[in-house]
């Protein structure tokens, strides 16, 4: 018989498991090829229970991308601190890691996936996502030692 009452700790653990599982799957197989069913089955919950955490797949995708932002910044810091890499080498390694995200555990949206997600987000969630993207792009540039102004950040946007 399924469990009908979950503690707040249980719900938070399950929510975290959904996000980390989604990140793992999306990094390996892409956003389009990752299904809600794959995620909730891997976590061991029902479809109905999944939707009590995330009303749409897009909501989960956004949370997944938010989760990886600090990890990306830390990765850039690690590259910049690597004495065997020049500045150009660190930037090249970072870009390579993003282009081949499935090999490096980084979920990267294609332009098509990003446009599809944007169409399905509320205006408020869209604005928040764009703001957090700008923040991430700015932090990446600053970590690489580049003053982050609107023009430079704009180069990273699609």
Res 157 pLDDT > 80: no
Res 70 pLDDT > 50: yes
Q: Which domains does the chain have, with CATH numbers?
A: 8-156 (1.10.357.10)
Task: Determine the pLDDT at residue 152.
Answer: 60
Q: Are 32 and 107 in contact (CB under 8 A)?
A: no
Percentage with pLDDT > 90 across the chain: 60
pLDDT in tens, 8-40: 999 999 999 999 999 999 988 888 889 999 999
Task: Determine the pLDDT at residue 117.
Answer: 86
pLDDT in tens, 79-125: 999 999 999 999 999 999 888 777 777 888 888 888 888 888 889 98
Instruction: Tell me the average pLDDT across 136-149.
Output: 90
């Amino acid at each position: 018989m399924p469990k009908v009452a979950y503690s707040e700790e249980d719900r938070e653990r399950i929510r975290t498991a959904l996000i980390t599982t989604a990140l793992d799957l999306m990094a390996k197989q892409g956003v389009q090829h990752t299904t809600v069913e794959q995620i909730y089955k891997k976590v061991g919950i029902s479809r109905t229970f999944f939707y009590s955490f995330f009303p749409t797949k897009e909501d989960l995708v956004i949370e997944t991308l938010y989760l990886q932002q600090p990890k990306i910044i830390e990765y850039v810091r690690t590259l910049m601190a690597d004495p065997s890499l020049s500045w150009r080498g660190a930037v090249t390694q970072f870009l390579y890691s993003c282009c081949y995200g499935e090999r490096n555990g980084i979920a990267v949206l294609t332009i098509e996936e990003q446009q599809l997600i944007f169409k399905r987000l509320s205006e408020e969630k869209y604005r928040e996502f764009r703001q957090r993207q700008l923040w991430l792009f700015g932090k990446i540039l600053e970590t690489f030692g580049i003053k982050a102004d609107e023009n430079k950040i704009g180069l990273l946007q699609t």
